[in-house]
Amino acid sequence: MMAKSPVVFLLLLFACDTQGQEWRFYGGSAGGTRFSSVQQINRQNVGMLKRAWTYHTGEVNRTNQTDRHRIAPFETTPVVVDGMLYLSTPSNRVIALDTETGREIWQFDPQAGRAERTYFQHRGVTYWQSETGDDRRILFGTFDGRLICLNAKTGKSCPGFGTNGVVNLRTGVADEFPQAEYAVTSPPALYKDLVITGAAVQEYPSRGPSGAVRAFDVRTGKLVWTFHTIPESGEAGHETWTDEAWKRRTGANVWSTMSVDVERDLVFLPIGSPSYDFYGGDRKGQNLFANSLVALRASTGKLVWYFQMVHHDLWDYDMPAQPTLITVRHNGESVPAVAEVTKMGFVFIFDRVTGKPLFPVRERPVPKSNVPGEVAWPTQPFPTKPSALVRQELNEADISTVTAESHRYCMDLFHSLETRGMYTPYGRKQTLVVPGTLGGATWSGGSFDSELGYFFVNVNELGSVGALEPQPPGAPVGYRRGAAGGEYARFWDQNQWPCQKPPWGTLNAIDVKTGEIVWKVPLGLVDGLNGETGAPNLGGSIATAGGLVFIGAATDRRFRAFDSRTGKQLWTAELPASAHATPVTYVGQKSGKQFVVIAAGGGGFFRGSTSDEVVAFALPD
């Protein structure tokens, strides 16, 4: 066989999956695998990574937020197409950068001209192009319920889309509640020429904007279909709501990211909790399709299948993350599957076409509620595999001993609380719920290496504390959660160190063929404490063909690379603030260099420094 010339070799290399050298979707692919086939950076040389460029958004002070965060977090995951990197900021600005240098090309400000700016978490934008490639668009939602379309090359509004490039998403779902929250914090999904949106809605009170999922024409902005996440009269699942509990009910929304199987005409919805999150006396029943993974026909919005992972949710156990579309060797066959991570620490894996679990799921009895008027669902689904990624109950021996002061504080707190194990409803007395609302897997989601068959998931070991307090006559709900630390109090000490023994955060690799956890390592550290404590974390991982898993997430201001086979940490870099975001990787068109980029802004639920930096790393020349 004749050897190929260097020119022929380079042409062949360039022809190999150019999309694999970009990052065209929030999740790397429409199915959210967060995997890159690029392997220029690998196990052998990752230790040489250096900062290549830095971009400053100019949004350092992000304190005028509209949610319960102390400082609005910088959670963007960029998309990368044709030499341009597109990101969003907490004020909903969209910015296009040169992928090689970080130089700003254009920016669009949906709050231009406003005297006072609003800041809110925002995880990114969506890129669409026509089959011919002559029409390229950026689509994204805003904190005030607008769907905006921009020309991807210029940042100008799309003529012919809605009104001057804007669709008012509140129309038809929030008309009765003009002052209520209706925000789009995650990138919309795409199926061919449809843009599919969910929204973040209020968690209190229980009546408010609909959580319906809708599809719009990507060129005109016209509504194409609507799926009622709380079924209306005559629709499947309506019988799971007693009396008139479904009417004007808010919640049961898709605030996270959806996934699309274009080949099979399917869109997968991770649906959140019904409002109010912690008391359901006014919504007795199973409450479909809240807390469910739902598969719809993407072209029509018709229901294909669903699986509810929490019945009658009383814990704010949303389906928090983008479903990951994977392929699994199961019973000797290659099965198209979908994996969904949960705040409970479970990972559910289903046949993507039928919705049948690949590993048995058992309904098990769980504790009753002691709150008047509440009827907790008697059982909850427990997957037999994979094993839970976090502790689901605690006893005195589990209380932290990292310092004497922390041990005393946490032991006193522990003994002041009631708990009856997994799925203990918040009671009339102060109650410990493990995992809590920030426990298990969060919107961080997972990444998948199809060659290894490993699914990588980062999780928190963190409980919640609260009691249901009676409300005065005429209040929207009969009871509301409260604690000394506020409505969303955590089981942690004065330093925000979780009250159970470390590790407090881990990165896990699951073999999806066997359902076994093949490795588990602490993720993050606490400066000043001995040992591998792990740390609370928010932000996802990506996997690469170079045998690496990249992740920031932890509250220790560090960015890391792990060996995907073993979990060994191979590289770390300090950041100006913790990276509560998911990185991306791509190859520069001109230089041919692989870059790894992450937003390092801090903020959100955790203390610590904040920043406005987007940081790129690459191998030295």
Residues with catalytic roles: 316
- In a 13 Å sphere around the CA of 135, the CA atoms on its Cβ side amount to 13
Question: Please, which residues bridge with residue 79 across strands?
Answer: 86
8's enclosing H/E stretch is helix 6-15
Q: Report yes or no: 572 and 609 within 8 Å, Cβ to Cβ.
A: no
Read off φ and ψ for residue 93, nearest 5 degrees: -65, 145
Cα–Cα distance between 318 and 273 in angstroms, integer? 5
Core vs surface per residue 475-498: b (16+ CB within 10 A) or e = eebbbbbbbeeeebbbbbbeebbb
Q: Which two tokens stand for residue 63?
A: 């304190």
Q: How many CB atoms lie within 10 A of CB 562?
A: 27
Read off φ and ψ for residue 398, nearest 5 degrees: -90, -5
Which 3 state secondary structure label does DSSP give 409? helix
Question: Please, which residues bridge with residue 201 across strands?
Answer: 182
Query: Closest by alpha carbon to 498, among 436, 448, 550, 579?
Result: 436
Cα–Cα distance between 489 and 437 in angstroms, integer? 9
Question: Please, which residues bridge with residue 598 across strands?
Answer: 615
Cα–Cα distance between 456 and 475 in angstroms, integer? 44
- In a 13 Å sphere around the CA of 62, the CA atoms on its Cβ side amount to 30
